[in-house]
Structure 1
Amino acid sequence: MSEWSGRNLQMEEGYWQALLQEGEFAASSGEAPSQGIEMLGGPAQNRVPSDGRTAPLDDVWMAAQEIFENNGTLELEATGYNRGGLLVTWRGLQGFVPASHLIGFSPWLSEEERRAELARRVGQRLTLRIIELDPERWRFVLSERITTEEIRRREALLAEITPGEVREGIVTNLTSFGAFVDLGGVEGLIHISELSWGRVEHPRDVLKRGQRVQVYVLNVDRERERIGLSLKRLLPDPWETVEERYYPGQLVEGVITNVVSFGAFVRLEEGLEGLIHISELAEGTFLHPRNVVQEGERVTARVLSVSRAERRIALSLRQVDKPNGWWVQE
């Protein structure tokens, strides 16, 4: 159940009681229809929609659940009202929009004014968000106010967010190409290449869903509502000062992170990897670099060359034991 449904539980309970006691009021006649109340009883899968259609209601409830979980919206027409709010129908399901969740509905109206205002809204199309869903109790409750507030928040955020800013958000999804972060109504994407200065196999190796993170805003496309984000830009780029820490001939320690047909990559520090070319792995012949090293193995290697501009460090295993001055620079 959402936080909104909890706040309005009394109002919603009052609606269901009122529905049983006084029925529903349609826009055309203002009289209670002959159908609709009876469908509140019995197992959900055996009920017949109020419009008389037979429908696989289990499938409808499942579709509604998917919309609910994905924070989707529904465009529905108000088909009736009762003292608690408006009635809507979606694919045979009758739903309820509490008056407290209608935009511009005053809580200070008299009973007569309240009914008149609800009757006036029957026939209008509403943009709604599902706030409570319970097939066992036949509860399908929606809100207009939440949807509108979220749209306003989204528009305001898109208007004010600027490249170069640092924002806080919550990781909502991890995919093979990056991580989505909710910035407070708008989601931005951290592409996998922007997660770290080093190699990242999958975003889940760096982040987890629900994690709160600080992100750097790379770019904003307001028309397409797309925001590019970065984690690594909040950290110093280790390649900027690489030539101050590494030099040809130096012996270094690292961990093998990836073995490919042409050699092996070694992580020297966070965000910094060097390559041991296949020709520098070992003396003699071998079928594949995996015959020499494995991922996760810690090795000592000799630095052959360092290039800040090319973001490249060439390493050697084969020349580790050679005395100073006898190793061959790349």
Structure 2
Amino acid sequence: MSETDGNKNKELMNALNSVKKVNVGDVVNAEVLAIDDNKQLIVGIEDSGVEGVVPPRELSSKPINNINDAFKVGDKIKVLVVTKIGGDKEGGSYVLSIRRVQSRKAWDEIQAKADAKETIKVPVSRAVRGGLVVDAGVRGFIPASMITDHFVRDLNQFKGQTLECKIIEVVPEKNRLILSHRAIVEEDRKAARDKVMSNISEGDTVEGKVARLTNFGAFIDLGGIDGLVHISQISYAHVDKPSDVLKVGQEVKVKVMSIDQDRGRISLSMKALEPEPWDSIEEKAPKGSIVTGTVKRLVDFGAFVEVIPGVEGLLHISQISHQHVNTPSDVLKVGQEVKVKVLDVQPENHRLSLSMRALEPEPDRNDGNNKAPRHNVNDNSKTNAPTEENGFTLGDIVGNELKKEENKNNKNNK
């Protein structure tokens, strides 16, 4: 063999040795050779001399609206070898995936952050039964119990939001990623709570925003910690439901009534910032005045009537009517508007005495059947004793008796 032939053989062997063998599961470099009508890529695997196909579902971990906007001929890409098509024959082709390379990279990054106890921010893709599906480069899941620190009925409100989360569990081989936003919320609230608790005192007036409404009151966000305005502290006027007078997101001023540092609880009042209604009661409902009120409560001994918001007076059963009243409910009902006269005012004792009877005309002395009124007669009238009340004198009675006797004698003589 000549030296020239030997060199050619050596070059051929080197060329053959330089061809990389392609194995399923490898991540390899490739070049986009064409974009076909099926919206898939035809690529050449670098240093292998073979081609592969990247089908549409393997193009990306995120939706692609137009493949021509995402890829161009000549682009250099990394792909994962999924499987071989065409058997072991020479010139066989491969199914390749860009999406799985991205996914593998995402899992590696997530695992690294989990090991470093770092958080990640993820957009919420959709709400499902039991929690939220999020996009962390791979599919992640936030269970309902790990979304926030209170019960949420409608999870759809989180759709489209980006939530910061702690990484709870990472299992790439099972495509399992569990995250918690609640852990972030609780940490933030603790920091905010500590800040608020150190800056407010009982008696302070502060501004807040209505965060939640319940049947028993309203929770006010004071900037990271919620305080409670009990329903009895919303207004001096009677409030059936907090939602009747407040709405979520409404800004309000409140007074700090008490602070429980150990339990992290703050009691608030809105009505404490309103004028005390009893302070002006002698001006608004002075003794002897006639006012219109609303029956708020009925009891055995009378009715409580609200004459101004926050001020109720007692309408005693004896003051309802001149007529006999067995029970207040026979005459009155809750919610009824009535006119009453103020009999007595005691602001210092929060007492107000009212009367409806005082506004009625005095009844006639007749019993209703046009009979003359009965008089009290002394016992002497029973023996025909002379009195000024019955209109007879002793002389009248004796004279009449003598005249009767005379007439009787005259008849007998005839």
Superposed pair shares fold, TM > 0.5: yes
| 2:304–2:314 Cα contact (<8 Å) kept | yes
Question: What residue is the counterpart of 2:346 in the other structure?
Answer: 307
* Aligned residue in 2 for 1:288: 327
1:296–1:209 Cα change, 3 Å: same
Determine which of 211, 225, 228 is the counterpart of 1:172.
211
Give me the whole-angstrom Cα distance separating, in 2, the residues matched to 1:260 and 1:18.
78
String of CA shifts for 1:124-173, please: whole Å, max 9, x gaps. Answer: xxxx525xxxxxxxxxxxx74x5544332221011101222222222233
Unaligned runs of 5+ in 2: 1-60, 64-98, 116-127, 130-140, 152-164, 363-414
SS of the aligned residue for 2:195 comes to helix
Structure 1 Cα separation of the partners of residues 175 and 301 of structure 2: 61
The 5 Å alignment of 1:111-122 reads none
Q: Aligned in 2, Cα 1:283/1:258: closer, same or farther, shift over 3 Å?
A: same
- How far residue 299 of structure 1 moved from its aligned partner, in angstroms, is 1.4
Q: Flag the 1:64–1:287 CA change in 2: closer, same or farther, 3 A.
A: farther
d(CA) in 1 for partners of 2:102, 2:298: 68
1:187 is displaced (CA, Å) by 1.1
For 2:107 and 2:237, how far apart are their aligned partners in 1?
Answer: 63
Aligned to 2:121: none
What's the TM-score, normalizing by structure 2? 0.47
1:306, CA displacement in angstroms? Answer: 0.7
CA gap 1:302/1:182 in 2 versus in 1, 3 angstroms: same
Q: Residue deviations 1:162-185, cap 9 Å, x none?
A: 222222222233344332212111
* Matching residue of 1:257: 296
Give the AA of the match of 2:216: F
Q: Which residue matches 1:20?
A: 103
CA distance in 2, matches of 1:23, 1:267: 67
Deviation at 1:241, TM superposition (A): 2.5
Query: Structure 1 residues 24 and 153 mapped into 2: Cα distance closer, same or farther (>3 Å)?
Result: same
Does 1:273 find its partner at 2:353?
A: no
Partner in structure 1 of residue 336 of structure 2: 297
Matched, 1:186 2:269: no
Cα distance in 2 for partners of 1:86, 1:183 equals 25
How far is the alpha carbon of 1:67 from its aligned partner? Answer: 4.0
CA contact (8 A) 1:71 1:129 kept: no
Contact in 1 for aligned 2:313/2:354 (Cα 8 Å)? yes
User: Partners of 2:263 and 2:299 in 1: how far apart?
Assistant: 39
Q: Tell me how far apart the structure 1 counterparts of residues 188 and 149 of structure 2 sit (CA, whole Å).
A: 17
Matches within 5 A, 1:54-65: 64-65=143-144
Q: CA RMSD in A?
A: 3.7
- Counterpart Cα distance in 2 of 1:245 and 1:23: 73
Larger Rg: 2
State the SS of the aligned residue for 1:155.
Answer: helix
1:95 counterpart = 2:177: yes
The 1:211–1:288 alpha-carbon spacing in structure 2 relative to 1, beyond 3 Å, is: farther
Which amino acid is 1:68 matched to?
I
Aligned match of 1:121: none
Q: Which whole-Å deviations, capped at 9, do the CAs of 1:177-205 have from their partners, x for residues lacking one?
A: 33221211111111233222233344334
Amino acid at match of 1:220: I
Indicate the SS of the match to 1:20: helix
Q: 1:233 to 1:201 in 2, by over 3 A?
A: same
The CA deviation at 1:294 is: 2.2
**1-structure distance, mates of 2:166, 2:240:** 51
For residues 277 and 13 of structure 1, do their structure 2 counterparts lie closer, same or farther at Cα, with a shift above 3 Å needed? farther
Contact 2:149–2:186 (Cα < 8 Å) also in 1: no
Once the two structures are superposed, the pairs formed by residues 91-170 of structure 1 within 5 Å of their partners are 94-95=176-177, 128-130=180-182, 144=184, 147-170=186-209
The AA in structure 2 aligned to 1:247 is P
Does residue 203 in structure 1 map to residue 242 in structure 2?
yes
Task: Return the TM-score normalized by structure 1.
Answer: 0.57
The SS at the match of 1:158 is helix
Q: Distance in 2 between matches of 1:279 and 1:273?
A: 18
CA contact (8 A) 2:226 2:266 kept: yes
Matched, 1:213 2:247: no
Instruction: Give the superposition deviation at 1:86.
Output: 7.7
- CA change 1:150–1:243 in 2 (3 A) is same
Amino acid at match of 2:105: E
After superposition, the C-alpha distances for 1:46-79 in whole angstroms (9 at most, x for unaligned) are: xxxxxxxxxxxxxxx8x9224425458xxxxxxx
Decide whether the 8 Å contact of 1:251 with 1:301 is kept in 2. yes
Q: Which has the higher contact order (CA 8 A, sep 6+)?
A: 1
Shift of 1:273: 1.9
Change in CA separation of 1:259 and 1:180 when aligned onto 2, cut-off 3 Å: same
Residues matched between the structures, number:
225
